[in-house]
Amino acid sequence: MDLANQDITSLQKENQLLREKLEKANEAYFTLADKTNYHLKELFDSSNDLIQIFKPNGEFRFVNEAWRNKLGYRENEIYDLKFVEVIHPEHRKQTLENLLKITAGSRLERFETVLKTKYGKNIYVIGKLTCVFEDDEPSEFRCVFFDITERFRAERAQSLYYKIASITISRNNPEDFYGQIFQELNEILKVRSFAVALKTEDGYNHAFWTNELESSQQKRLNRDVETLLYDYIYERGKPMIIYNEGIEKIAQQKKIKLTDELPTIWLGVLIYMDSKAIGVLSVFSYQDQSAYNHKDLELLDFISGQVTLSMERQQNTEKIQNQAARINAIFESSTHQIWSVDRNFKFTSFNQNYAEAFESYYGITPTLGLKLTGIQNKMLRKKAISFWEGKYNKVFSGNPLNFQTSQKKLNGEKVWRDVFLNPIYRADGSIKEISAIANDITEKKLSETALKESEEKFRNIFESFQDIYFRCNMDGVISMVSPSVKKVIGYDQKDLIGKNITDFFFSKSSMATLFKKLYRDKQVQNFEGEVHTRDGQTIEFLSNVRLIKRQKNTFEVEGVARDFTRLKETNRQLVEAKELAERSLQIKERFLANMSHEIRTPMNGIIGMIDLLGTTALDREQSEYIKTIKKSSDSLLMILNDILDLSKIEAGKMQLRLQPTNLIETFEKVYALYSQQAHLSNNTLYYHLDEKLPKFVLADETRLAQVLSNLTSNAIKFSPNKGNINLSIRVMEVDEPKYKFKVSIKDSGIGILPADIDKLFQTFSQIDSSRTKNYSGTGLGLAISKELVKSMGGEIGVASTPGLGSTFWFTFVAEEVSAETSSKVLEEANFVRQFTESNPKILLVDDNHINRTVASSILKKSGCLVTEASSGKMAIEQVEENTYDLIFMDIQMPEMDGVETTHRIKNLGLEKVPPLVAMTAYSMEEDRAIFLSKGLDDYIAKPIKATALIEKVKTWLHFEPKSVSSEVFEENTEELIINQNTLNHLFKYGGKELIESVLEDFDLEATEQVENALNYAKNGELEKTRQELHTLKGNAGTLGIERMATASRIIEQQLKQNDTTELTEKLNHLADCLGEFKESYKNFITT
Amino acid sequence: MSKKIIVAEDSSVIQNLTKKILTLQNYSIHTVKNGKKVIDLLEGDDYDLVLMDIHMPVMDGMECAREIRKMENDNAKIPIIAITGNANNYSMDDFKAAGINGYLPKPLNYDTLVETVNSYLTNGN
């Protein structure tokens, strides 16, 4: 046991010893371990590698100093950190997966991950990670990482450089280009704000702009920070990195208040173009100041270079493209056809024009590479192909060609082209291609052909010309003459050219005349001359010559001459024929004049006898017959007179006998003649005289009255219903002493259709044959009037509205004559209307009872003492027994005619032979001479007219007229209540308004004046009455209130002589006139 | 400035008519009813023409014309045109003696009126 005890004890001792040893060893070990630990730690800390030990739960057990420095944590912060927190979030998953793999026993040669510093910066690491197991459980992870950020960045940068370079090469569109760059920057450098700004005249234009604030926070930036920085970098002229503090400083310096948020770091480089800064490229961040460094700036600088490259390239491309486009535009827009072929005759280019032309010729569209000789087309014949081959070959041998060629189009149209072929020389002098240009000259060609044709045509005309065409210079030297000259005058063309025209043609003097005329008028027509033919004959020529301008100021004469020798002969014959005809006409006239006598004499007899028969006792039936016969014979006489007048006119025998004429009188006469007739057809005839009418004019009163009567009787004839016929005369123009008058005859009759107006003034024309029955007449009146008016220097015309009436008018020209010249006539004129005081003794000789009675009563009425004789014998008896102042002698009398009787009377040996005036139906003026030659002193035409008869008395006896009292004169004229013509005259001065107001004034004042006049007259205050009437007369006259004017005037003049005969009646009449006026004036105003 | 015309006329019909026609011819018209008033006007102001009736109450045209010619201002030379319904009583010599330059017969012709007045006023008379 002891032993056991001893053993135990010894064992215990041994154990004790061992334990001590162990303790010692342990102590040594721990000391060593501590020492080792310390050394290790020191070792680890002095290492640049990042060493870390962490527990499986991620808590750190140990990190060395390098790690702490790199990641920015202090030592005491380590134990609150977990491994996963320092891994970049994007790499956590991968890193954890790798950790699991290692835990599961895998061995990873290289462990790669990205750490994130306390400040957010990425640190790319690579290294070893081992897992320590205890009891098969992982107890800790030990890692040794190497920082490879720089290397990584360098690699990335490398790739970025490469990528950006390739973007530069492949991208054309700047927008795309910048976008791509940004994409790359974003991917590799995590760039989120990037801007490309190009300088403009007044700032910067962002070609590209992306900003993290704008894209993440939807902020709108004013970009004032950028502008400031761009300006700054421009100023400094180098790439720059600027931090937010720096930006603030710059802003302060520039005294600019920035509104945008400042980036924490901003990198900018200038973009250059042709060594001129054109913009700024910038990258910036609002997050991390350490996000970028100078390496990035270098990268940016590189990008800027790439941008420049890209822009230059872009520019070049554009330049090239523009130039190509220009050339292409020229090529395509040319109106020429342009193409080129190579040695194989294949098309190497062609423009649209050529393509179109080609297709229109051959029906196929040309293509590049199409071989001319390979074309199989029926339109492109072998001949054509070989033609072009030949041409091309020539050019390939170095000869440029130009030729014109025609080509038929598919549609059959023929076109002409002017083609230019030129070899295209290569730099080495070889010719591989030909350029061809063709121009469509079809039109030119056609016009050339047309010109040729027209030239030929004219040449033909020229050659076949029958007249002579000639051309000479201004000296008369012939330069051209038509071949016809040979035929006409016997000389060849060549004989004449170069000779002077005067050698053959016109005489020198007529030549001078011709040239003078040519200078003046540039052309001369119907120039007559003589030409000597080769065989010495003289031919008469008629020519038209004109001056033609050749070049500057050189003239030539060209002309056409016609042999009209024969024509002239014919003319002579014609003249003879005409003369013969005229002689025949004269014979006819003579015949007519005789006929007129022959007809008028029996007519006078018939009419006279009818009148006589009418005075005998007749029963009713006989009376009717007589009336009818009378009417018919009157008509017959009228027709006869018309025909004779017209024959006279046609014979040109109508001559005006101009005498001083009082136009007023002429009108009065016509009025007197027709007022009754008008009245019978329920018409009222008025006449209106222009106040500017000269007193006397030189005119043929008879003819004037004839026209006026004609138109007046027509007016009456064609106005079957109640109406007015107004005659008026107006002065149109005055050119002292010449007056132009216009006479109008206005009716309210049936009117004339426009289509009929032209026919009106033709001989024997009545506008509607159906009306002939209604409206009698020869239809010669207007034709005669027209001729008469023409001979009076006037015109005749009509304006008409069918159904409303017509206004016939005519004009005539007459000279005013002075009172002295016309004093004689004035007396005569008065004499017509008035009886004479000294009664002339007149013997009237006529076998015709009626004629005698008519003439006798006229003469008696005019105050003559008339003795009638019915035969020549009785006349002689009377003359022997009594003295007469004047004898009217009919020529046609039985037994002893007028001429014979006159002869006898003149031979009676009387103390004083009275003047003898023939009365005859001979109507022509020249008949007067015949009678005068037969001893008669004067002549008067039958039928006898009162005025003409009395004029004769006056002419031969020089009687003084009895003074004319105006009352009689006034009473004879027709007065109007209101003369519209006068008032219409007022219209032009003040319109209807003026007329109305003036009439109103007159109404008021006249009423008062008439009342006053009546009162004064009642009280016997004659002077006051007269004065009232005087004013009233003037006022009424001025306003065309004619009846009142006349009534006042008559009374005024009566009162002037203190004559109070029928004063009250006359004043009452005046009052009636006022009443009339009031009524019509109201009507007048309302219409 | 339109020319100033005095129209002296007893009858308001002729007075108004003349006034209206001449006013429309762009004359300035002053109307009076007798010669005395013509003198009154001419003493007060300058005028360019006198157109007057010979027969007027108070002072007739002839007398008025003589008075005008006796005046001591510029108006003494004013053209005077007489309007008369009775030219027979006076000859042109009578008118001239009274200092009347021309006359218009009654019944008045409107054209003649305008022409006559124009002829005096456009010739600078």
Q: What is the secondary structure of A433-487 as a DSSP string?
A: EEEEEEEE-HHHHHHHHHHHHHHHHHHHHHHH-SSEEEEEETT-BEEEE-THHHH
pLDDT at A293 over 60: yes
Cβ–Cβ gap A1033/B106 under 8 Å: yes
- Classified as helix, coil or strand, A64 is coil
If pLDDT is split at 50, 70 and 90, which confidence band does A822 have? very low
Per-residue pLDDT of A1043-1085, as tens digits, reads 888 888 888 888 888 888 888 888 988 988 888 888 777 766 6
CA Rg, chain A, in Å?
Answer: 69
CA distance B47 to B6: 7
pLDDT-above-90 percentage for chain A: 4
pLDDT of residue B51: 93
The pair of structure tokens assigned to A61 is 């057990």
Distances (CA, A) of A618 to A212, A621, A623: 145, 8, 6
Q: Which amino acid type is present at position A1075?
A: G
pLDDT at A962 over 50: no
Per-residue tokens: A117? 């510093």
Distances (CA, A) of A228 to A203, A264, A265, A277, A1025: 10, 15, 14, 16, 115
Residue type, B19: K
| Cβ within 8 Å, pair A994-B106 | no
The answer to whether residue A333 scores a pLDDT higher than 90 is: no
Q: How many CA atoms lie within 13 A of A1042 on its CB side?
A: 17
- Tell me what pLDDT residue A1 has: 59
Q: What is the predicted pLDDT for the residue at A927?
A: 64
The mean per-residue pLDDT over the stretch A452-457 comes to 86
Determine the residue among B9, B17, B19, B117 to mutate to test chain A binding: the one whose Cβ has the most chain A Cβ atoms within 10 Å.
B17
Q: What are phi and psi of A147, to 5 degrees?
A: -75, 115
Cα dihedral: A220, A222, A224, A225 (round 10):
0
Pairs of residues, one from chain A and one from chain B, whose beta carbons lie less than 8 Å apart? 73
Question: What is the 3-state composition of chain B as percent helix, strand, coil, each rounded to the nearest 5?
Answer: 45, 20, 35
Residue A678 is predicted with a pLDDT of 82
Q: Contacts of residue B85 in chain A, CB cutoff 8 Å?
A: 1030-1031, 1033-1034, 1037
Yes or no: say if A817 and A697 are a contact pair by the CB < 8 Å rule: yes
Candidates A175, A238, A250; CA nearest to A210 is A175
CB-based contact (8 Å) between B28 and chain A?
no
Mean pLDDT of chain B: 85
Of all residues in chain A, the one with the smallest CA distance to B10 is A1031
Let me know: does A129 contact A94? Beta carbons within 8 Å: no
* Window 992-1031 of A, Cβ < 8 Å to B: 994, 997-998, 1001-1002, 1004-1006, 1027, 1030-1031
- Residue A649: what pLDDT? 73
Residue with tokens 């007369």: A1033
Q: How confident is the model at residue A171 (pLDDT cuts 50, 70, 90)?
A: low
**B85 and chain A in contact, CB less than 8 A:** yes
Mean pLDDT computed over A949-954? 78
The tokens for A672 are 């007197």
Burial of B100 (0-12, 13-18, 19+ CB in 10 A): buried
Q: Do strands A122-134 and A203-210 pair parallel, antiparallel, or not at all (unpaired)?
A: unpaired
pLDDT tens per residue across span A189-202: 778 889 988 888 88
pLDDT tens-digit readout, A558-592 = 888 888 888 888 888 999 988 888 888 777 766 76
With a cut of 70, say whether residue B2 has pLDDT above it. Answer: yes
Report chain B's terminal Cα–Cα distance, integer Å. 16
At residue A973, the pLDDT reads 40
CB–CB of A1034 and B10 under 8 A? no
DSSP letter at A412 equals S
Give the confidence band of A431 by pLDDT, cuts at 50, 70, 90. Answer: confident
- Give, as one character, the DSSP assignment of residue A890: E
CA distance A793 to chain B (A): 27
Between chains, do B106 and A1034 touch, taking CB under 8 Å as contact?
yes
Mean pLDDT of A897-926: 80
Residue type, A67: W
Cβ neighbours, 10 Å, residue B33? 18
Cβ-contact B8, B54 below 8 angstroms: no
Pairwise CA distance, residues A305 & A239, whole Å: 12
CB contact under 8 A, B110 and A989: yes
In angstroms, the CA A1058 to CA A520 distance is 79
Q: Contact, A839 vs A957, CB < 8 A?
A: no
Give me the amino acid identity at A34: D
Contact A989 B10 (CB under 8 A): no
Distance between CA atoms of A806 and A746, rounded to whole angstroms?
6
Residue B11: closest C-alpha in chain A: A1031
Residues of chain B positioned with their CB less than 8 A from the CB of A990: 20-21, 24
One-letter identity of residue A560: V
Gap from B110 CA to chain A (nearest CA, Å): 7
Q: Determine whether the interchain pair A1033/B20 forms a contact, defined as Cβ–Cβ distance below 8 Å.
A: no
Query: Could you tell me how far CA A728 lies from the centroid of its own chain?
Result: 45
A1041, A1077 contact by CB (below 8 A):
yes
The partner residues of B82 in beta bridges, in order of sequence, read B52, B103
Q: What is the DSSP letter of A1012?
A: H
Strands A523-532 and B102-105: unpaired
Tell me if B13 and A1039 make a contact (CB, 8 A cut-off).
yes
Give CA–CA dist A502/A517, Å, rounded. 17
* A985/B11 CB distance under 8 A: no
Q: Quick one: three-class SS letters along A777-793?
A: CCCCHHHHHHHHHHHCC
The alpha carbon of residue B24 is apart from the nearest alpha carbon of chain A, in Å, by 7
CB atoms under 10 Å from CB of A537, counted, come to: 11
Strand-pairing partners, residue B52, are B8, B82
Instruction: Name the band, by pLDDT with cuts 50, 70 and 90, for residue A810.
Output: very high
Indicate if the pLDDT at residue A828 is higher than 70.
Answer: no
CB-side neighbour CA atoms (13 Å) of A736: 1
3-state secondary structure of A364: coil
Q: Which residues of B touch A1030 (CB under 8 A)?
A: 55, 85-86
**pLDDT score recorded for residue A975:** 62
- Cα–Cα distance for residue pair A915/A1086, rounded to 1 Å: 63
Residue B84 C-alpha, separation from nearest chain A C-alpha, in angstroms: 8
- Hey, what domains does chain B have and what are their CATH numbers? 4-122 (3.40.50.2300)
The label of the residue with tokens 């690579």 reads A126
Determine whether the interchain pair B24/A990 forms a contact, defined as Cβ–Cβ distance below 8 Å: yes
B19-35 pLDDT tens trace: 988 988 889 999 998 88
Instruction: Identify the CA nearest to A300 among candidates A190, A160, A205, A206.
Output: A160
Map tokens 């991620």 to a residue: A58
Q: Exposed (0-12), middle (13-18) or buried (19+): which is A1051, by Cβ within 10 Å?
A: buried
The yes-or-no verdict on residue A1008 having pLDDT over 70 is yes
Tell me whether the omega of the peptide bond preceding residue B107 falls within 30 degrees of 0, making it cis: yes
Q: Can you tell me the distance from the alpha carbon of A569 to that of A319, in angstroms, rounded to the nearest whole number? A: 89
Burial of A621 by CB count in 10 Å (0-12 exposed, 13-18 middle, 19+ buried)?
exposed
CB contact under 8 A, A1037 and B107: yes
Nearest neighbour of A1033 by CB, restricted to B25, B85, B111 = B85
pLDDT, mean of residues A970-976: 46
- Three-class SS of A201-217: CCEEEEEEEECHHHHHH
Determine the Cα angle at A198 with ends A196 and A203, to 5°: 120
Q: Which two tokens stand for residue A7?
A: 């053993």
Say yes or no for a CB contact (<8 Å) between B10 and A997: no
Closest residue of B to A1000, CA-based? B13
On chain B, the residues whose CB falls within 8 A of the CB of A692 are: 109, 112
pLDDT of A950 reads 77
Buried b (16+ CB within 10 A) or exposed e, A824-835: ebbebbbbbbbe
Measured between beta carbons, the chain A residues lying within 8 angstroms of B24 are: 989-990, 994
A202 touches chain B (CB under 8 A): no
Tokens of B100: 């009347």
- Which residue among A691, A692, A1031 sits closest to B11, beta carbon to beta carbon? A1031
B87 touches chain A (CB under 8 A): no
pLDDT at A588: 73
Those of residues 679-738 in A touching chain B at CB distance below 8 A are 691-692
Name the residue with higher pLDDT: B80 or A554: B80
pLDDT at A818 over 80: no
pLDDT at B125: 40
pLDDT over 80 (residue A44): no
A273 pLDDT band, cuts 50/70/90, is confident
What pTM was estimated for this model as a whole? 0.31
Question: Per the CB < 8 Å rule, is A1030 touching B55?
Answer: yes
**Going by DSSP bridges, is the β-strand pair A683-689/A723-735 parallel, antiparallel, or unpaired?**
parallel
For residue B107, give the nearest of A1005, A1027, A1045 by CB distance: A1045
pLDDT of residue A972: 34
Select, from the ranges A631-635, A699-703, A841-845, A1029-1033, the one with the highest average predicted confidence (pLDDT). A841-845
What three-state secondary structure class fits A525? strand
Mean of pLDDT over chain A? 81
pLDDT at A930 over 60: yes
- B-chain residues within 8 Å CB-CB of A994? 17, 20-21, 24
CB-based contact (8 Å) between A990 and chain B? yes
Among the residue ranges A28-32, A94-98, B40-44, the one predicted with the least confidence is A28-32
Q: If you ran DSSP here, which 8-state letter would residue A694 be given?
A: -
For residue A550, give the amino acid letter. R
Question: Would you call B107 and A986 a contact, using CB atoms and an 8 Å cutoff?
Answer: no
Residues with Cβ within 8 Å of A750's Cβ and at least 6 positions away in sequence, in order, are: A718, A719, A720, A802, A803, A805
CB contact under 8 A, B106 and A990: no
Does an H or E element contain A539, and which? Answer: strand A538-551
Handedness of CA A706, A710, A716, A719 (dihedral sign): negative
Q: Are A727 and A688 in contact (CB under 8 A)?
A: yes
Report pLDDT for A743. Answer: 93
At B27, the amino acid letter reads Y
Indicate the pLDDT class of residue B5, thresholds 50, 70 and 90: very high
Please check whether residue A766 is in contact with residue A773, taking contact to mean a CB–CB distance below 8 angstroms. Answer: no
